[in-house]
Every structure is written in C-alpha cells, then in structure tokens.
Amino acid sequence: MGTLTLLKSQGLSHWKWLLGKWFALFLPIFVVTAALFLLAGLLLNNLDDFGVFNWGSLFTMFLVYIGYYMIFINIVLLISSRTKKSGISLVVSLSVWIIACLAAPKAASNIAESKHPYPTRQEFAANVLNDKKEGLDGHNPWSKEAKLLEQEVLKEYGVDSLHQLPFNFDGYRMQKGEEHEAQVYFKHYNYLKDQYSKQSKVYRGLAAISPYLPARFLSMAVAHTDYATHWDFADAAESYRIATQEFLNNNFAENSAFGEWSYQADADTWKDLPVFEYDPPELKSILSRNSSNMGILGIWLLASFGLLLFNVKTI
C-alpha cells in the first residue's frame, strides 16, 4: 500500500521497521499464550487427584510453543516483505502453513508407516493366538503340554500322584501358563515397540521439512502423551499384572489341595499385594530423549531469524 516508502522518507531505519512489525505480531501472541498457560497451570495444580503436574514441564511446553510461533512470525514477515500486495502475501502465507502443518506431517506419517508398518489388529491377535497354542494353556489340564509338565513335576518331587505334591498342582500349572502367555505378549509387543522406534527415526529424519513436527513431538513428550511414555506405562502395568497373577496363583497353589477349586483367600491376603505405582519419566529424561527435536526446532528458529535479518538489508 506504499506505507513502507512513506516510512522510509521519514527516516525510519530498517531495524526499527523490523522490530516494530515483529513485536506487533509477537506481543499479542505472547500475552494470550502466557495467560492461557498460566490459567491451565493454576487449574491443574489445584485439581484433586489430577495425577502428575509439574510447573517446569508446563513452562518447557510454553517455551516450545513460543519458539514455534516465533518461527511462523519470521516466515510471515519474510513473505510480507518480498511481496508487493497484501492479497498475494496472505495466499503465500496460507500455502506455507498448509504445506508445513497439514501436508508435511501427513506425508511424514505415510512414509514412516510404509517403511515400517504396524500389523493390523486382526494380524496381531492371530499371531498372538498362534503362539499361545504352541505352549502351555494353564487352564487346560488335558493338553499335551499340561501332561508333559505334570510328568516333569512328579519326577522332580519323586511322587506318583499329584495329590502327593506339597502344593496344589492346579495353581502351579496356571502360573506356568501365565508365564508362557506373558512371553508371547512380550514378544509381540516388543515387535510393536521396535516398529515404533524405527518409525520415530524416520520422523526425526523428516522433522527438518517443517517446524510443526519437532514442536509436536516435544509437546507430546512433555505432556506425557507420546508413544514412548505410553510404552513405559504399558510395560509397568503389564509387569504389575504378571506379578499380581503370580501372587494369586502361588497363594492358590500353597494354600489349597489338588482339586480344591472352592478355595478362597482371606482378607489379610490382599494386604500383602503391593499397590500399583507409576512414575512417568522426569523432564530431564524427556528432554534428553528429544534432543534431536530440540535441535531441529532451534535450527528452524535461528534460520528464520537469519533469513529475516538478511532480507531486511535488501529491502
């Protein structure tokens, strides 16, 4: 609209123009974002039984988003300074946003999935079922594997009958069956985690094509909603489930006779069962694990500032 020429004629330097434009865009975003994060922090910090809340994590996420906004402010100003009409500037800016925030993440997801695909739910269930069939079913005393286990235990204890064992063989067999199933599940879940790890490497390799990707991964990690935290919690929960099942089967085996399915543990038994506790990864560990995303976001920030400053000199 010719205002830049008018401002230059009044002796305005390039640096003052840049700072004025930049802070005019940045300050409203900063104030709104800071207010929203502060409000969210106060609400979450005062909720009873919310879970794990940490002001340091919230502040880290705030910095991630502020850096992300800075990058797009720099890109918008760069586009605006190189185009002669506001309509063209708007269209170009929207195009960059669509490519960076919609097309690039979708393309990265498709590339990672095509290189290292996850099995479908049906394939996963079928693979687990096939492996479970090849081992001991703790609830089927007539299977081949159960009979082999029975013979091994009788030979080990030097007795001729399951009734002569110093424990309830039914509980012992169920525990051995649980151990087999646990191995099967660990095998297939470890394959999923391996695929996730490979996909993550692909994502990190493609994160340079858009600032959206490293900001997204950092935000998810700090908020404990990323896959790494999911697997960490799932492993802890599965370990507790296995320990609980072992506790129950051993109690049944040690305190009942063979064939005594009416056995019930007393109330005091449950006092010996540990309570499930889970501590999510600490912020330091999260940042260390996402150092590459932090580096890529930092490069985007420095590069966008560098291009903007270089461009101002050429106006």
Mean pLDDT (the chain) is 87
pLDDT for res 1: 66
Most confident of 68-77, 178-187, 240-249: 68-77
Cα separation, 37 vs 223, in Å, equals 13
Q: Dihedrals φ, ψ of 104, to 5°? A: -65, -50
Structure tokens at 83: 């185009």
Residue 162 predicted with pLDDT over 70? yes
Residues 124-149, mean pLDDT to the nearest whole number? 80
The answer as to whether 252 is a domain residue is: yes
The answer as to whether 166 is a domain residue is: yes
Length of the chain (residues): 315
The answer as to whether 7 is a domain residue is: no
Cα separation, 292 vs 172, in Å, equals 48
User: pLDDT per residue over 188-246, tens digit each?
Assistant: 888 888 888 888 888 878 878 899 999 999 999 999 998 888 888 988 998 898 888 88
In terms of C-beta density within 10 A (0-12 exposed, 13-18 middle, 19 or more buried), how is residue 236 classed? middle
pLDDT for res 180: 83
Report the C-alpha dihedral over residues 208, 213, 217, 218, rounded to 10 degrees: 70
The answer as to whether 4 is a domain residue is: no
In terms of C-beta density within 10 A (0-12 exposed, 13-18 middle, 19 or more buried), how is residue 147 classed? exposed
User: pLDDT per residue over 8-67, tens digit each?
Assistant: 778 777 788 888 889 999 999 999 999 999 999 999 988 887 777 889 999 999 999 999
Cα separation, 118 vs 199, in Å, equals 10
In terms of C-beta density within 10 A (0-12 exposed, 13-18 middle, 19 or more buried), how is residue 14 classed? middle
pLDDT for res 315: 63
- Percentage of the chain with pLDDT > 90? 32
Pick from 2-16, 94-108, 284-298: least confident: 2-16
pTM value is 0.78
The answer as to whether 1 is a domain residue is: no
pLDDT for res 35: 97
Higher-pLDDT residue of 36, 1: 36
The answer as to whether 230 is a domain residue is: yes
The answer as to whether 3 is a domain residue is: no
pLDDT for res 70: 96
In terms of C-beta density within 10 A (0-12 exposed, 13-18 middle, 19 or more buried), how is residue 199 classed? buried
pLDDT for res 312: 76
Q: Which of 109, 303, 115, 288 is nearest to 206 (CA)?
A: 109
Which pairs from 222-229 meet CB under 8 Å and 24+ separation?
222/57, 222/60, 222/61, 222/64, 222/283, 222/286, 223/57, 223/61, 224/52, 224/280, 224/281, 227/196, 227/200, 228/281, 228/289, 229/280, 229/281
The answer as to whether 52 is a domain residue is: yes
Cα separation, 73 vs 21, in Å, equals 10
Q: Dihedrals φ, ψ of 52, to 5°? A: -95, 115
Task: Find out whether 79 and 93 touch, Cβ atoms under 8 Å.
Answer: yes
Residues 109-115, mean pLDDT to the nearest whole number? 88
Cα separation, 56 vs 285, in Å, equals 13
Give the chain's domain count: 1
How many Cα atoms are found within 13 Å in the side-chain-facing hemisphere of 251? 17
Structural domain boundaries enclosing 284: 12-312
